[in-house]
């Protein structure tokens, strides 16, 4: 049973066998007393500090150590909170910027075009392309041929190019139609051109590498 508390920061000792206090009666201290009556007036009042000074230090330190451990655990768990939704760590990575749209007007001028097989560096045909701000004014001049129109249009960062049908330079007596997709890379228009030959055969569709460089 807990010791009764009284005002003034003192406590009544109810452990007559401990030797710390006894019932005070008639001005003297008796070694034994009847504590069955819960009257504060019949006890020697001992300051609470006296118990702390006489207590075992190990017993006093245990609650203190437990309290410190609890504070440390709470502090550590609080430091591992997830980042706020509006913090930089929680924000998703920005998407890469879209390539700039290609302007046909910016391509106006004379270009030298070379065509190679898709898996070879050997040049098959060299021609001259004249580009204008108006997509309807583009022309291409093949070796030993008059200039003929080229159909062009812009789609995002790509230039769509088509020409023909006309007699193939590479295959005598065969008609060819070409269409390709070019992109501006380091000041050059590069891409793949597809050649469709007639009459059709096993090799009637051929992929070619096209590169156009501004003429000096």
Instruction: Kindly report the CATH number assigned to the domain that includes residue 115.
Output: 2.40.128
What is the pLDDT, as a whole number, of residue 95?
A: 77
Q: Which of 28, 30, 36 is nearest to 14 (CA)?
A: 36
Whole-number pLDDT of residue 62: 53
Alpha helices by DSSP H, listed for the chain, are 48-54, 57-79
Alpha-carbon dihedral sign for residues 56, 58, 62, 65: positive
> Is the residue at 89 inside a domain?
no
Range of the domain at 31: 5-79
Cβ atoms of 108 and 122 within 8 Å: the answer is: no
Q: Which pLDDT belongs to residue 42?
A: 45
> Are 74 and 110 within one domain?
no
Asked if residue 92 is part of any domain, the answer here is no
Q: Is residue 185 domain-resident?
A: yes
Instruction: Give per-10-residue mean pLDDT for the chain (216 aa).
Output: 46 44 46 46 44 46 51 49 58 74 94 96 97 97 96 96 96 95 96 93 91 91
Total domains in the chain come to: 2
Does 96 map to a domain?
no
pLDDT of residue 55: 47
Is the bond into 199 cis (omega within 30 degrees of 0)? yes
| 75 and 110 part of one domain | no
Helix (H, G, I), strand (E, B) or coil at 161: strand
> In 48-149, at which residue ranges do the beta strands (DSSP E only) sit?
109-117, 123-131, 139-141, 148-149
Boundary residue ending a domain (42, 63, 79) = 79
Within a domain: 172? yes
11 forms beta bridges with 5, 46
The answer to the question of residue 109 being in a domain is yes
Q: Exposed, middle or buried, 140 (CB in 10 Å: 0-12/13-18/19+)?
A: buried
Query: Could you say which of 62, 79, 96 is where a domain stops?
Result: 79
Sole residue written with tokens 């050059």: 188
pLDDT of residue 84: 60
Instruction: Let me know if 24 is exposed, middle or buried by CB neighbors in 10 A (0-12, 13-18, 19+).
Output: middle
């Amino acid at each position: 049973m807990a010791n009764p508390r009284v005002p003034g920061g003192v406590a009544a000792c109810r452990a007559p066998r401990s030797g710390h206090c006894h019932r005070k009666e008639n001005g003297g201290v008796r070694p034994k007393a009847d504590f069955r009556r819960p009257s504060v007036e019949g006890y020697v009042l001992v300051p609470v500090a006296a118990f702390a000074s006489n207590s075992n230090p190990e017993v006093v330190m245990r609650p203190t150590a437990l309290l410190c451990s609890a504070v440390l655990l709470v502090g550590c768990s609080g430091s591992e909170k997830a980042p706020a939704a509006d913090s930089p760590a929680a924000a998703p990575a920005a998407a890469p910027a879209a390539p700039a749209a290609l302007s046909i007007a910016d391509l106006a001028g004379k270009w030298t075009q070379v065509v190679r097989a898709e898996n070879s560096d050997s040049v098959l045909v060299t021609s001259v392309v004249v580009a204008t701000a108006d997509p309807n004014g583009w022309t291409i001049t093949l070796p030993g041929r008059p200039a003929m129109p080229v159909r062009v249009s812009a789609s995002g960062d790509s230039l769509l190019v088509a020409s023909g049908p006309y007699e193939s330079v590479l295959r005598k007596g065969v008609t060819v139609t070409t269409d390709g997709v070019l992109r501006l890379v380091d000041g050059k228009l590069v891409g793949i051109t597809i050649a469709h030959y007639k009459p059709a055969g096993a090799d009637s569709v051929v992929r070619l590498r096209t590169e156009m460089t501004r003429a000096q």
